[in-house]
Structure 1
Amino acid sequence: MSTRPVRVNSLLLITILLLAVTTLNCVEKEGKPAEKPKTIEEVGYHEKTFIFARGADSIALDPHMITDGESALVTVNIFDTLVRYKEESTEIEPALAESWESSEDGLTWVFHLRKGVKFHDGTPFNAHAVKFDIERQIDENHPYHMPGKFPYAQFTLGMIDKVEVIDDYTVSIKLKRPYAPFLQNLAMFAAAIVSPEAVKKYGEEVFKHPVGTGPFRFVEWIPDDRIVLEANPDYWDGPPKIDRLIIKTIPENSVRLLALEKGEIDGMDGLNPDDVERVRRNPDLVLLEQPGMNIGYLGFHTQKKPFDDPRVRRAISHAINKKEIVTYLFKNMAIEAKGPLPPTIWGYDPTIKGYEYDPEKARQLLAEAGYPNGFTTTLWTYPNPRSYNPVGAKLATAIQDNLKEVGIKAEIVQLEWGAYLAATKEGKHDMFLLGWMGDNGDPDNFLYVLFSSDNIPDSNRSFYKNPRLDEILIKAQQTYDKEERTRLYREAQRIIVEDAPWVFLNHMKQQVVLRKNVEGFKLHPTFNKYFHKVRKTSS
């Protein structure tokens, strides 16, 4: 028997087996892998893998459905916006739109889009995608609109009247009224462009299957453990310096820092105040910090008794020892807040004095409001540290002690982060701890978003209403005169401080700790964390 036929059959068999394996791999990529997810160690820790750890998991990965920083941390690396913020600034530069112009009255904006860009699913980015994404959020008749699922839509895009496709790479956006921060809003995470085909494919489950045009593509999400992304080699702004980005959830600050010291992760946020000097003394670590565009606050449900009485709210504002919180609890990693705007935002009013710690004044106001012996209530909190509160639930305990001194007995109610956000949105709370990190560098992003009655209950979780304030905030949106806007925002701040829907607690420094071999990471005023240009050296 000739050996030739045998050799041919062997080669044929090998070829068939290789094709089968390749086909199987393709099928697994299209569907969900059957095997158990690999551990981080199995995924591979090396120079091209960057692991960043934070204290809580994301809520969703559809940028249109989120308001929380933990979700935005991931989505800003998967998705792009029409315009974006410059590095270390809230100034605007081109992104998916290469250029734009507006009419003299500021009502019509025409955007010229970048050509040749594709979503991670291979479908083209174009003007039709822009129209689809905007209308999905603001048009109740859109086939993929989900009522109540787009909490930022009213603020980010609510001023839009109509979106028109001029051609495949030119889109016109017409506004209902002049809106000064329009471009700033278009750079926000909530205005990112999502693949229309992904929305159609996954429907309401698209928040688990993010598909954008950004520097990283989604790989997997293991809840309360990690989110894994991979580099997009075809990214229009150049491929990332790393192959894989892992966003790891480690709830305890101290455990997270220990992992960083051991080299198990490359970077982290949420540093315990007591650990700052420890980090500074470690030659293998680098601490990045800058003044924060944020506020931490104690809010009141202003439509519930006794918090519907401003005298009660002012009393509690006098009862909280903010200096002690900042000095001893936060170890001077923050400054005391006087009002609703941080000093890093233009329009901040430095003449506002706020509420000094004065327990006697607090008791007097409580007596005037009909509560000479105080009252019993609840104080809601989340367990884990946040960027505006590095000690988590310990802050609630400190406030509870302050309230007790003036006769207010506050029972602490603690929920995990996702449940906490849902409960406060539903208004189940009496008093609650929360905070805000500025999205776009404009006062509107604090004052309108957090205090306008338009935003109850999405971002205005104090359920606070003041018709005069609403009028001022809309007027400030509609003028492009920065001097006039500053005047209006300062008037707004005085109204808010007088009404005291919150106790204005603190403005935290922004901090991130990295291994010394990490290069290219820069803090951003919005607290967004961009990993596109991050790289690791061998040392």
Structure 2
Amino acid sequence: MKKGLSLFLAILFLLSIALTGCGGSKETATSNGDQGKSNTNVQSTLVFGRGGDSVSLDPANVTDGESLNVTQNIFDTLVAYKEGNTEIEPALAEKWETSADGLTWTFHLRQGVKFHDGTDFNADAVVFNFNRWMDKKNPYHKGDFPYYGYMFGGYKGDKGHVIKNVVAKDPYTVEIQLNVPQGPFLNNLAMPAFAIASPEAIKKYGEKFGENPVGTGPFVFKQWIRNDKIILDKNPNYWLKGYPLLSQLIFKSIPDNQARFTALQSGDIDMMDGVNPDDVTLAKKNPALQVWLRPSMNVGYLAFNTQKPPFNNVKVRQALNMAVNKQALIDAFYNGLAEPAKNPIPPSLWGYNDAIQDYSYNIEEAKKLLTEAGYPNGFTTDLWYMPVPRPYIPQGKKIAEAIQTEFEKIGVKTNLVTEEWATYLDKTGKGEHTMALFGWTGDNGDPDNFLYVLLDKDNAKAPDAGNISFYKNDKLHEILIKAQRSSDQNERTELYKQAQEIIHNDAPWIPLVHSTPPLVGKKNIVGFNPHPTGTDKFTKVHFE
């Protein structure tokens, strides 16, 4: 009897180990309290592996994807993008209307919504946030608030500032008055940077709000261990009833792509981005994994600092454009999941000028142009590369090395330079680089978000330049402002095509690629649909 009982208990013990091993990543809990259910066999914590840490968790004070990917799950915006595209749908605002002249927008807010600290979301909270963003004299305007300046023509008192005033008409009605009409206004408001934060938390934490974020979103901030992980817990009082489905969401920083993929295979993480080309192939063959492809709405580029010699010479910039074999880069580093770029905006956007002919890959012609520019023997300079994998530049150092080799063929010698991610962003925003690898994933599906933000003179201003080429062209500026203020998409399309011609001729960049970024995760993850903007909400994601 005792022997049989021992054998029975041993079998039970082994079965319990096997079941535990099926539970998921080593960081995860295995209980599922979603909508009152309990199932110990269903994983309820998702660990997302990524290449770098966030800079800050104050969405208004950052522009990098590693920060906004997290804040997107802590905060909500007035309006949001639909799943899979950039069409607008209600979020914290249930409905809205605009005046005939496009100068007054009225938003009717969702009632009964609470911030994570228990305070009320209402019209006063919306007004507080806008005043904080747009007024540099506001006591809570602590930081640079770069996206606000990029998208709304500067700040209060600036000549091109779009927003005149924001007023609470009653507890749940907000009126936004504009100085001039803005075609992409509603799409701009859906960007993660314009999420509504708790006024009381901003007052409480001051400059430390970026380390103590409080929003109304599906997940509540719990803990941030720098360069390791950020832990978010389920918001049990989320206004979208029945969601989120996960009990916990963890963002885990693993800088090396290969190490991150190994962590996925071993179960230490559940999903990852920044996948090496060969690992995409391996993932497709692995029955325990699945691959998602993010719809392409990005550009990877090499920016020349046009304020520094020799990059103030257009012939130098054009010569370097001729010295890079873009297709070879795609073959080596993108596993076919990219196409060569010739314009600053991707072909998936309306307004794309396909009539433009790219600079041909021609070493001899590039040498001739350098000679005409006064550099018959070339020159020596720095080439900055991104220290973390990004969707458009998945392997920064290797891509920089490949470009370095190409430039040597025309006599241009480069020293490779990088910095820690936050420092890289800071120094390029201040213009300390000579030329730098960079990229952009569209935030709102409008060409303005690429052309005005990245190449207009308004945004060629330190310390947080969106236009890190510091390229200034008055004719281009006139066209972009005219397009921005028009509500006629046909007119705007023609203006943006003209803008791309000017940019192509002036060559402040080498547009490199438009990528289709892959993500890999466990086979039992459902409800995840990668968004073209590059930032994802995990509200409806769960395990089956």
Q: TM-score scaled by structure 1?
A: 0.91
Structure 1 residues 221, 290: closer, same or farther in 2, change over 3 A? closer
| Equivalent residue number for residue 378 of structure 2 | 374
| Equivalent residue number for residue 383 of structure 1 | 387
Q: Is 1:456–2:460 an aligned residue pair?
A: yes
Question: Residue type matched to 1:110 in 2?
Answer: T
Per-residue Cα deviation, 1:470-519 (whole angstroms, up to 9, x for no partner) = 11000001111000000000000110111000001001112111100101
Question: Residue type matched to 1:150 in 2?
Answer: F
Q: Distance in 2 between matches of 1:65 and 1:362?
A: 40
Give 1:49's match in structure 2, choosing from 38, 45, 48.
45
Deviation at 1:154, TM superposition (A): 1.2
Q: Distance in 2 between matches of 1:446 and 1:397?
A: 27
Q: Distance in 2 between matches of 1:243 and 1:291?
A: 28
Q: Distance in 1 between matches of 2:104 and 2:380?
A: 53
Q: How does 1:5-16 map to 2 (within 5 A)?
A: none
| Equivalent residue number for residue 164 of structure 2 | 161
Secondary structure at the residue paired with 1:377?
Answer: strand
Q: How does 1:240-279 map to 2 (within 5 A)?
A: 240-279=244-283
Q: Is 1:343–2:338 an aligned residue pair?
A: no
| Equivalent residue number for residue 542 of structure 2 | 535
Question: Residue type matched to 2:238 in 1?
Answer: Y
Q: Is the 8 A contact 1:384 1:393 kept in 2?
A: no
| Equivalent residue number for residue 36 of structure 2 | none
| Equivalent residue number for residue 151 of structure 1 | 146
| Equivalent residue number for residue 226 of structure 2 | 223
| Equivalent residue number for residue 237 of structure 1 | 240
Secondary structure at the residue paired with 2:467?
Answer: coil
Q: How does 1:321-336 map to 2 (within 5 A)?
A: 321-336=325-340
Q: Is 1:75–2:82 an aligned residue pair?
A: no
Q: Is 1:396–2:400 an aligned residue pair?
A: yes
Q: Is 1:494–2:501 an aligned residue pair?
A: yes
Secondary structure at the residue paired with 2:376?
Answer: coil
| Equivalent residue number for residue 140 of structure 1 | 136
Q: Is the 8 A contact 1:88 1:522 kept in 2?
A: yes
Q: Distance in 1 between matches of 2:517 and 2:201?
A: 34
| Equivalent residue number for residue 521 of structure 1 | 528
Q: Distance in 2 between matches of 1:291 and 1:352?
A: 23
| Equivalent residue number for residue 8 of structure 2 | none
Q: Is 1:478–2:485 an aligned residue pair?
A: yes
Deviation at 1:45, TM superposition (A): 5.7
Deviation at 1:141, TM superposition (A): 2.4
Question: Residue type matched to 1:248 in 2?
Answer: K
Structure 1 residues 287, 311: closer, same or farther in 2, change over 3 A? same
Per-residue Cα deviation, 1:388-443 (whole angstroms, up to 9, x for no partner) = 11112111100000000000011111212111111111111111000000000000
Q: Is the 8 A contact 1:273 1:390 kept in 2?
A: no
Q: Distance in 1 between matches of 2:478 and 2:401?
A: 37
Q: Is the 8 A contact 1:57 1:223 kept in 2?
A: yes
Give 2:304's match in structure 1, choosing from 300, 305, 308.
300
Q: Distance in 1 between matches of 2:282 and 2:420?
A: 29
Structure 1 unmatched ranges of 5 or more: 1-39
Q: Distance in 2 between matches of 1:447 and 1:364?
A: 30
Give 2:55's match in structure 1, choosing from 52, 59, 65.
59
Q: Is 1:129–2:125 an aligned residue pair?
A: yes
Q: Is the 8 A contact 1:180 1:479 kept in 2?
A: yes
Deviation at 1:381, TM superposition (A): 1.1
Q: Distance in 2 between matches of 1:45 and 1:504?
A: 46
Question: Residue type matched to 2:213 in 1?
Answer: P
Q: TM-score scaled by structure 2?
A: 0.90
| Equivalent residue number for residue 510 of structure 2 | 503
Deviation at 1:41, TM superposition (A): 4.6
Q: Distance in 2 between matches of 1:510 and 1:407?
A: 33
Q: How does 1:412-431 map to 2 (within 5 A)?
A: 412-431=416-435
Deviation at 1:330, TM superposition (A): 2.2
Q: How many residues align?
A: 497
In terms of mean alpha carbon deviation, does 151-160 or 73-82 score higher?
151-160
Q: Is the 8 A contact 1:73 1:528 kept in 2?
A: yes
Give 2:211's match in structure 1, choosing from 196, 202, 208.
208
Question: Residue type matched to 2:378 in 1?
Answer: G
Q: Is the 8 A contact 1:121 1:211 kept in 2?
A: yes
Structure 2 unmatched ranges of 5 or more: 1-24, 32-42, 154-161
Q: Distance in 2 between matches of 1:435 and 1:128?
A: 36
| Equivalent residue number for residue 119 of structure 1 | 115
Identity between Structure 1 and Structure 2 (%): 54
Question: Residue type matched to 1:267 in 2?
Answer: M
Q: Distance in 1 between matches of 2:99 and 2:175?
A: 11
Deviation at 1:266, TM superposition (A): 1.1
Q: Is the 8 A contact 1:510 1:527 kept in 2?
A: no
Structure 1 residues 41, 280: closer, same or farther in 2, change over 3 A? closer
Q: Distance in 2 between matches of 1:399 and 1:99?
A: 49
Q: Distance in 1 between matches of 2:234 and 2:133?
A: 28
Question: Residue type matched to 1:84 in 2?
Answer: A
Give 1:447's match in structure 2, choosing from 439, 446, 451.
451
Per-residue Cα deviation, 1:291-312 (whole angstroms, up to 9, x for no partner) = 4100000010001110001110
RMSD value over aligned CA atoms?
1.2
Deviation at 1:81, TM superposition (A): 0.3
Q: Is the 8 A contact 1:52 1:268 kept in 2?
A: yes
Deviation at 1:290, TM superposition (A): 4.3
Q: Is the 8 A contact 1:156 1:191 kept in 2?
A: no
Question: Residue type matched to 2:144 in 1?
Answer: K
Secondary structure at the residue paired with 2:141?
Answer: coil
Question: Residue type matched to 1:100 in 2?
Answer: W
Q: Distance in 1 between matches of 2:329 and 2:76?
A: 38
Deviation at 1:260, TM superposition (A): 1.1
| Equivalent residue number for residue 438 of structure 1 | 442
Q: Is the 8 A contact 1:307 1:313 kept in 2?
A: yes
Q: Is the 8 A contact 2:26 2:267 kept in 1?
A: no
